[in-house]
């Protein structure tokens, strides 16, 4: 929470300085909600089978007519899941729930489209692990409490206030290590795609 207050305070001060230079530039804020389609690279399961919630609040601070900084406070459900087949019990599921603060620099290419890139810090709130449908007693063994992701982002402005957002995120550093990981040094990495609707005023 202290980190999110600091980030938004810095953005607010930056906006006030820019506003004084160009009164036409406006601060925007709103809410976002959508889905994560995630996997954990390094486990034995591929493809984005794990579906989770991605929701929270966003603010946008203009830097110029074509560039703006955005910051969000999110609840983000990541993890991984084995493929499901009719009549076959679920083999594996890993639920990793985070509080997340993404910060991006965005470029408004056209009136209806913008692109962004940035970083996100996430703090693990809760983890649950299921093997052969049985919940494991300690799902955080070998897992760190935080995740830092690199982000690539695209928005389509449906209306003045509603936007469709798609995002790719990948862990810069390993979120943990387990002996069964198939990556170098038995590392694990969050890997996800997000699709969200954003309401911004």
- Summarised one tens digit per residue, pLDDT across range 16-75 is 554 445 556 788 999 999 999 999 999 888 899 999 999 999 999 999 889 999 999 999
* Residue closest to 55 by CA, chosen among 79, 32, 71, 78: 32
- pLDDT above 70 covers a percentage of the chain that reads 88
Question: What one-character DSSP code corresponds to residue 184?
Answer: G
Q: Highest mean pLDDT: which of 107-116, 157-166, 176-185?
A: 157-166
Q: Please, what is the end-to-end C-alpha distance for the chain in angstroms?
A: 24
What does the alpha-carbon distance between residue 196 and residue 184 come to, in Å, rounded to a whole number? 33
Cβ count within 10 A of residue 194: 21
SS3 at position 165 = strand
Residue with tokens 């809410």: 31
* Residue closest to 103 by CA, chosen among 70, 128, 136: 70
What is the chain's mean pLDDT, rounded? Answer: 89
Q: What does pTM read for this prediction?
A: 0.88
């Amino acid at each position: 929470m202290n980190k999110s207050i600091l980030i938004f305070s810095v953005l607010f001060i930056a906006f006030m300085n820019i506003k004084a230079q160009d009164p036409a530039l406006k601060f925007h804020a709103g809410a976002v909600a959508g889905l994560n389609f995630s996997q954990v690279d390094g486990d034995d399961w591929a493809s984005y089978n794990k579906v989770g919630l991605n929701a929270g609040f966003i603010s946008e601070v203009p830097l110029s007519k074509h560039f703006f900084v955005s910051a969000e406070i999110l609840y983000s459900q990541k993890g991984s899941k084995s493929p499901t087949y009719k009549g076959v019990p679920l083999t594996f599921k890993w639920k990793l729930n985070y509080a997340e603060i993404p910060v991006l620099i965005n470029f408004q290419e056209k009136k209806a489209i913008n692109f962004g890139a940035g970083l996100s810090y996430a703090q693990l709130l809760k983890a649950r692990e299921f093997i052969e449908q049985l919940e494991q007693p300690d799902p955080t063994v070998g897992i760190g409490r935080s995740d830092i992701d690199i982000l690539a982002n695209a928005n389509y402005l449906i209306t003045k206030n509603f936007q469709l957002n798609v995002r790719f995120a990948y862990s810069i550093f390993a979120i943990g290590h387990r002996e069964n990981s198939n990556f170098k040094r038995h590392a694990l990495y969050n890997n996800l795609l997000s699709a969200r609707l954003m309401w911004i005023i």
